[in-house]
Amino acid sequence: MQKTLVILKPSAIQRGIAGEIISRFEKKGLQIVGMKMVELSDEILENHYAHLKNKPFFSRIKNSMQTSPVILMVAKGVGAVEVVRKMAGVTNGREALPGTIRGDYSVSVQENIVHASDSIETADIEIKRFFSEDEIFEYPQQLLPNIYANDEY
């Protein structure tokens, strides 16, 4: 099974919808195997958003991610990386389809509620960036036979 990183950004925390967003992942059938609230440092954001560091809006994104603590979450499931990315929707909340998290809760490119890892390789790097091994839990998902057919996992 895959694991992927979700960040509930300050736009989710400040608007008081973190619980609703977490609930969506739970209801989908993903297993939460890691979760914590942290304040993101300049250094960690410079690594996390390294692909944007030459953009004129980089410092604005960084500041925005530091306006409150964030909730970091690791979700596990079959094909979890793509499943979570699809649930997040495209980056711009105005273009994200209704039914997606960004499509339902955001009208902004920047203030778009969640981060979701964009590939299996990225997910692995991002989980290690934010979580130590003992913060990721292995425990039985009791309803697995009700969530997947037994040849799917």
Catalytic residue positions?
115
Specify which residues 100 forms β-bridges with: 98
User: Is there a contact between 67 and 10 (Cβ–Cβ < 8 Å)?
Assistant: yes
Specify which residues 8 forms β-bridges with: 71, 114
Of 47 and 91, which CB lies nearer to ligand IDP in the complex structure?
A: 91
109 contributes a contact to ligand IDP by CB under 6 A = yes
Task: Give the interface segment with ligand IDP, choosing from 16-24, 26-34, 108-116, 127-135 (CB under 6 A).
Answer: 108-116
**Three-state secondary structure call for residue 53:** coil
115 contributes a contact to ligand IDP by CB under 6 A = yes
Binders of Mg ion in range 42-101 (CB under 5 A):
none
Q: Which residues contact 83 (CB under 8 A, 6 or more apart)?
A: 28, 30, 77
57 contributes a contact to ligand IDP by CB under 6 A = yes
Contact with ligand IDP (CB under 6 A): which of 32, 44, 61, 147? 61
Sheet with 2-8, edge to edge strand ranges: 31-38, 70-77, 2-8, 114-116
110 contributes a contact to ligand IDP by CB under 6 A = yes
120 contributes a contact to ligand IDP by CB under 6 A = no
